[in-house]
Amino acid sequence: MLSKMQKIRAVAPELTVLVQAHEEGTFKGGVEALNSLIQKTIDKAGLWTKEIRHPSVVGVHPHNREKSMLVPIDVHDLLLKFKENGYNADLWDALAVSIPEGPIGEQWRLENTLLVAASEGLLADVDASSLEIITGRGSHGTAAMRCVIFGARSPHKSLCDAHGQVSKAVLLQHQPSWQEPLEQGLMYRIFPGELEIAVPGLLAALSRMGNAHHDVFRHKTALQMCNRIHSVLKTKMQNKKGAVDVEDAAHIACQGNGGSSYLQQCLQLIAFVQAWSGGLDGHILRDLKALKDRVPLSGSSRPLI
């Protein structure tokens, strides 16, 4: 029987080609077909597990939502939906990787700590040392549950206690169906963090493609989309000589990010990215993200960028 690392070494080349095809938009079968193929390839290699994990031990991968990880207001908007609709296990779709030992795993833990620190109380506190897995799908739902368990400031008063903190009692009063997942945990499909290291971008690709059929809670800010566009343009510039096909880049960026309905807005954002991203290293986009993270959210309005 092959060891975990032997399985990873055996399947990594095939998965690398598939992730590259997603990044470059060269896969001919469509985003859902590619999503299915990648997942079947991981499963065939014997690297999937399905496990119940308590939200207290679940963080979010640094590359989730085009490296924004979580959008705090989306977490609370989703929690409001949970309060209105209740828990349906059939609709819960969460994908995660285990946290490997070593500097990369420690960096993933640190990024979760920094994310919470920048949220101005809108995300629940995290003990990075207690994290066991980090998500690339189901991230906002998990963060919503963490807010219920540990408390967090919320712009939605109907979720809160008298102190303005998300209240477990309030949620369960309206939707007792959340009692069991809050106490017992939620289902996650998990593959080893070592596979993500061997195939960089694997989790981000699966997250992006998996969102193609359930974008309800995945409306990206313009800045997040600019980061995705910058990544696509950078890849194309490094792999090709001459001018980049802007419309082709837009189609690639829209895969799992709103699809063709987002194409016209994406084309407009490409012009901005080409002029103002800060070149291949995208330092202006990073500065804009840092600025956004420092701007407090009020009410239920989304950030402007």
Q: Which of 217, 249, 264 is the last residue of a domain?
A: 217
179/238 same-domain check = no
CA distances from 287 to 54, 60, 294, 305 (A): 35, 22, 11, 12
**Residue in 166, 156, 181 with CA at minimum distance from that of residue 123:** 166
Q: Hey, which bits of the chain come out as E strands?
A: 49-53, 58-60, 95-98, 133-137, 186-191
Give me the count of residues in the chain: 305
232/262 same-domain check = yes
Decide if pLDDT at 236 tops 70. Answer: no
- Listed in sequence order, the residues at least 6 apart from 68 whose beta carbon sits closer than 8 Å to its beta carbon are 221, 223, 224, 227, 289
Q: Which of 217, 240, 274 is the last residue of a domain?
A: 217
Of 43 and 295, more confident: 43
Of 150 and 251, more confident: 150
| 95-111 tens-digit pLDDT | 999 999 999 999 999 99
Q: Rounded to the nearest 5 degrees, what angle is found at the Cα of 246, between the Cα atoms of 242 and 247? A: 135
Say what percent of the chain tops pLDDT 70: 85
233/203 same-domain check = no
94/191 same-domain check = yes
| 67-103 tens-digit pLDDT | 878 888 889 999 999 999 999 999 899 999 999 999 9
Q: 242: pLDDT confidence band, cut at 50, 70 and 90?
A: low
Name the phi and psi angles at 97, rounded to 5. -125, 150
209/231 same-domain check = no
CA distances from 23 to 20, 43, 52, 248, 262 (A): 5, 22, 31, 12, 18
8/26 same-domain check = yes
Question: What's the structural domain count of the chain?
Answer: 2
244/213 same-domain check = no
302 falls within a domain: no
Mean pLDDT for the stretch of residues 1-19: 95
β-pairing, 58-60 vs 95-98, is: unpaired
102/247 same-domain check = no
228/210 same-domain check = no
138/235 same-domain check = no
305 falls within a domain: no
- Containing domain of residue 263, as a range? 222-294
Q: 299: pLDDT confidence band, cut at 50, 70 and 90?
A: very low
